[in-house]
Structures are given as structure tokens and as C-alpha cells.
Chain A
Amino acid sequence: AQTVTQSQPEMSVQEAETVTLSCTYDTSENNYYLFWYKQPPSRQMILVIRQEAYKQQNATENRFSVNFQKAAKSFSLKISDSQLGDTAMYFCAFMNAGNTPLVFGKGTRLSVIA
């Protein structure tokens, strides 16, 4: 069974600074997808960024980018120019290539401080 580990329960960052959230996972699959989801306080989960395991190039979405290390089974999220609206729980998630349900980590609570 796949597992996803987020080792940082809470993090904080100053507005406009850069922060990196860590995620490691365990799988015996070769083809899979990785995701970062954001869950703001009392609001619904939204997708931040996705990475296909067969792609060597790291995904980027505006201020959000990932560092995908397939051999190390590591998938970190970097948020540049942090904004107050980035305050949220961030979940790392895994999905195998068969489009099975997502496996989530326990989350990292990020606070952006003015």
C-alpha cells in the first residue's frame, strides 16, 4: 500500500518570503501522479499543483513549484513571494496510474505572517 508522509505539522513564513513544504512517499509503482492540495480555514480543498511521475521536469504554477526526486521518493512544494491568502493546510497526495483514490499525508499547517 502507498503511504505519504509530511514531517512538518506546522510552518510559518513572513509575507513575501519563500517557504518549502516537504513530502515523502512510498510506493512500488513506477507510474503515478503526485499532488499538492490547499485547504484554507473553513473552505474547500483545491488543487495547487500536480506532477506526473514519468515527467522529469518539475511542475510550476505561478508562485508554486515542486522539487520532484523520483529516486528519493520526495515531492516538496516551494511557495515563492508568500501572500496572506496562502495561509492554509497543505496536503500532499498520491494517486497511482490506475486513477485510484488519492492517498493523503497528514498535512502541514502554513501560516503567512504580515
Chain B
Amino acid sequence: DTGVSQDPRHKITKRGQNVTFRCDPISEHNRLYWYRQTLGQGPEFLTYFQNEAQLEKSRLLSDRFSAERPKGSFSTLEIQRTEQGDSAMYLCASNYDYNEQFFGPGTRLTVL
């Protein structure tokens, strides 16, 4: 296993469309995190999972956002009815208990 992977790396969509991103964590990692990073800012927490359980959701995660981690493996983040304000880099990270978080390369979303 070479690290956290994310797919797609880039996504361009029109306002109002739905998009789904995938994250594959490092295989033995039980925790998986989603962050959003806008230009010139640090990453902001969206939600995280321990195994398949979603433990916390940020107030940034509106009703249009949903995340899943079936079977505690990969995770998906779906955004419904995208808005221009959703344009950002979506980062996934994983770790095992109290160890460092390893980040994926991110999915850059552009909403036209």
C-alpha cells in the first residue's frame, strides 16, 4: 500500500449537478477524515469515521453533503446540487488511533 489515494484528482461541474469523490485510505488505518481547503486557507474539517461509524460532522457540512464509509474501507463524499461556493480542494486523510494523519493528493472541484 503506497498511501492514501483519491479519485478523481480534478472535477469540473456545472452548478446544480451532483458530484461524488472517493478516498481509499491506507489499509490498516481505522480512522478516515475529510477536509476542505480553499485558496489561501488551511484545511477545514468536514467529517470523520472510525471504521464504518461516522463520529462527527462539522457545521460546514450542509445537508447537501453526505459521506459514507461502508465496511470501514474506502469512503465517498457526495455533494448534491453543487454551488459555486463548493469550489475547493477536498482532502482525505487517514490514521490509526493516535498516530499522524496521512493525507491524499486531494480532489480539486471547480463549479462553473
A 22-52 to B, binary, CB cutoff 8 A, 1 in contact else 0: 0000000000010101000001111100100
Asked if B41 and A106 sit within 8 Å, CB to CB, the answer is yes
Which of B15-23, B71-79, B80-88, B98-106 contacts the other chain? Answer: B98-106
How many residues of A are in contact with the other chain, CB < 8 A?
Answer: 22
Closest to A50 in B: B100
Write the nearest CB–CB distance from B32 to chain A, whole angstroms. 11
Across-interface contacts of B95 in A (CB, < 8 A) = 99
Asked if A107 and B104 sit within 8 Å, CB to CB, the answer is no
Asked if A106 and B42 sit within 8 Å, CB to CB, the answer is yes
Closest to B91 in A: A45
Across-interface contacts of A102 in B (CB, < 8 A) = 33, 35, 43, 45, 93, 101
Asked if A101 and B33 sit within 8 Å, CB to CB, the answer is yes
Given contacts A99-B98, A100-B56, A101-B48, contact A44 B103 (CB under 8 A): yes
For the complex, is A103 an interface residue (Cβ under 8 Å from B)?
yes
Asked if B31 and A45 sit within 8 Å, CB to CB, the answer is no
Closest 7 CB pairs of A and B: A104-B42, A101-B45, A45-B103, A44-B105, A47-B100, A99-B98, A91-B42
Using a CB–CB cutoff of 8 Å, the interface residues on chain B facing chain A are: 31, 33, 35, 40-45, 48, 56, 91, 93, 95, 97-98, 100-106
